[in-house]
Amino acid sequence: VQGFASAQDMQNFLMASHAFVGVQFDEHYEQLTSLPTRLSYTLRFPGELRAQFGITHAWRTNSRFASRPDGGARFYRYDDGGPSPGYFREGFLSIQHFIFRAFLEAKKTVNKELPEVHVQRFPYPPFLEDSFPSSLTTFLPISVMLAFIYPCISIVKSVLFEKEKQIKEAMKIMGLSNWILWSSWFVKSLFFIVISVSLVVLFLNVPWYSTPDVSVLTHSDAGVIWLFFFIYGIAIITFSFMLSTLFSKANSGGAVAAVIWFIAFAPYAVMDQDYGSLSASDKLAASLLLNTAIGFGLRLIGVYEGTTQGMQWSTLFHDSDVDNINLGSIMLMLLADAVIYMLIALYVEQVFPGDFGLAQPWYFPVSKRFWFGESSTKDPLTEDPPSKKENIEDDPKGRPARIVIKGLRKVYSNKKVAVEGLSFSMFEGHITALLGHNGAGKTTTISMLTGMKRPSSGTALIYGHDIRHEMKKIRNSLGYC
């Protein structure tokens, strides 16, 4: 036994030697003349375990729960509490017992033997010995993530195909509302997602083994599991919509979507290694990524399967004994994810429409035009007439100009000028034809007038509505073939 002047001296000695343990008493004890009524001290053991080797075995004082709880009692095959953290095997309980016994011997006033102390494990109700549920928390999240990667890629590519082939913009030109377009994609995708979800739940909850009434999720309610995957499916759809707004080509968008899909699972794979020390807010914040959320949810389902209770409607919003979140919270986070992904998709689509469509300024959600529209329309007859040039017919008298083009110009990213300062008017009752050689800018002009391309400068007024800001109103009376 060796004494030290301060706790720091003892700590320095313990770190430089192989001493078994250090006992640190409160500093004010050196001023006492008699033993205190209550004894307070700290046991300083090495940070690593001696009786159990391996980096996964430690004191785990930073963990609130077991990192991966098995079904039933923890380490139920060991009478001493198990290998990790191993308070009995490491001698922690023995040192604690000897110190308190010596303290009580010194404090007792009657010459009487202290009673023997017997220790047994805390009782646990009967349970089914099955190691399979504990393995669910490992392979089930990965399996589900891989199973739903194809629907994500398929949705992204189908949306981008219509965008790449100008089908999306053509339907909008013909008057189809943007919300109807997104709704049609959502309903179509939801139909196939429901089929996929139902097949997954069928595989997990229906007995497929020779033993009757035994399935992958034997004890969990199939309705709860279906609802959980259904909400996940909704998040998949809006997540795919969000990814589709970031690309213009179907093939490249699908390939990158697969990579992002795996990235969305990465936080769960990292956090699972130190799951017991995570707070509820950490887990919910990470659940903003849908594949991380599904990992946490399936982990909870595996834990409840291990207790033979299974995930039920009654336990949906009930925190388990080995976790600080519940499946209901994960479902709500997935619904929030779906809303957030959809809002991002709608915003990015307006600000970065790709090769076709008119881009809105980044601040358009807070602009007056977005909420109230144009305060007034311009009268094309009040605009300055185009300058007089040779071989240009004078405007007819008595006919209103319904389309007024003023200085319309389009320059592509490669500096090629497709349309150079075009100015003329189209009048009611006239059939106007654009003539010119290949590359003269006829198609580009029509594309700008219909809103498929944004002019580099200049503008046009169609029935008094500016093509730069009021294309939705223009398309109410526009035909295109």
Domain ranges of the chain: 7-107, 132-351, 378-477
Q: Are 343 and 242 in contact (CB under 8 A)?
A: no
Residues with Cβ within 8 Å of 192's Cβ and at least 6 positions away in sequence, in order, are: 151, 154
How far apart, in whole angstroms, are the C-alpha atoms of residue 353 and residue 14? 65
Q: Residue 382 has what pLDDT?
A: 45
How far apart, in whole angstroms, are the C-alpha atoms of residue 144 and residue 353? 33
- Angle of CA points 479, 370, 356, to nearest 5°: 45
Strands 457-462 and 417-427: unpaired
How far apart, in whole angstroms, are the C-alpha atoms of residue 102 and residue 25? 14
Tell which residue, 317, 343, 355, has the closest CA to residue 451: 355
Tell which residue, 19, 169, 149, 198, has the closest CA to residue 95: 19
Q: Which residue in the block uniquely carries the two structure tokens 């790709």?
A: 354
How far apart, in whole angstroms, are the C-alpha atoms of residue 14 and residue 21? 8
- Angle of CA points 25, 29, 31, to nearest 5°: 150
How far apart, in whole angstroms, are the C-alpha atoms of residue 204 and residue 220? 10
Q: Are 428 and 416 in contact (CB under 8 A)?
A: no
Tell which residue, 189, 281, 173, has the closest CA to residue 241: 189
Which contacts qualify for 139-145: CB closer than 8 Å, 24 or more apart?
140/298, 140/301, 140/302, 141/265, 141/268, 141/294, 141/295, 141/298, 141/299, 142/265, 144/200, 144/294, 144/298, 145/261, 145/262, 145/265, 145/291, 145/294, 145/295
Q: Residue 379 has what pLDDT?
A: 47
Phi, psi (rounded to 5 degrees) for 262: -70, -35
Q: What is the CA radius of gyration of the chain?
A: 36
Q: Are 86 and 52 in contact (CB under 8 A)?
A: yes
| Straight-line distance from the first to the last Cα atom of the chain, in angstroms, rounded to the nearest whole number | 97
How far apart, in whole angstroms, are the C-alpha atoms of residue 458 and residue 202? 60
Q: Are 89 and 51 in contact (CB under 8 A)?
A: yes
pLDDT mean values, one per 10 residues, the chain (481 residues): 86 88 85 83 85 66 62 73 78 90 83 80 73 74 94 95 84 81 94 95 81 78 95 97 93 95 94 82 94 93 82 88 87 97 94 78 82 57 50 75 87 85 85 85 85 84 83 77 68
Omega before 85 within 30 of 0, i.e. cis: yes
Q: Which tokens go with 440?
A: 């003269």
How far apart, in whole angstroms, are the C-alpha atoms of residue 333 and residue 287? 6
Is CATH 3.40.50.300 the classification given to domain 378-477? yes
Q: Residue 156 has what pLDDT?
A: 96
Q: Residue 157 has what pLDDT?
A: 95
Tell which residue, 445, 170, 473, 140, has the closest CA to residue 298: 140
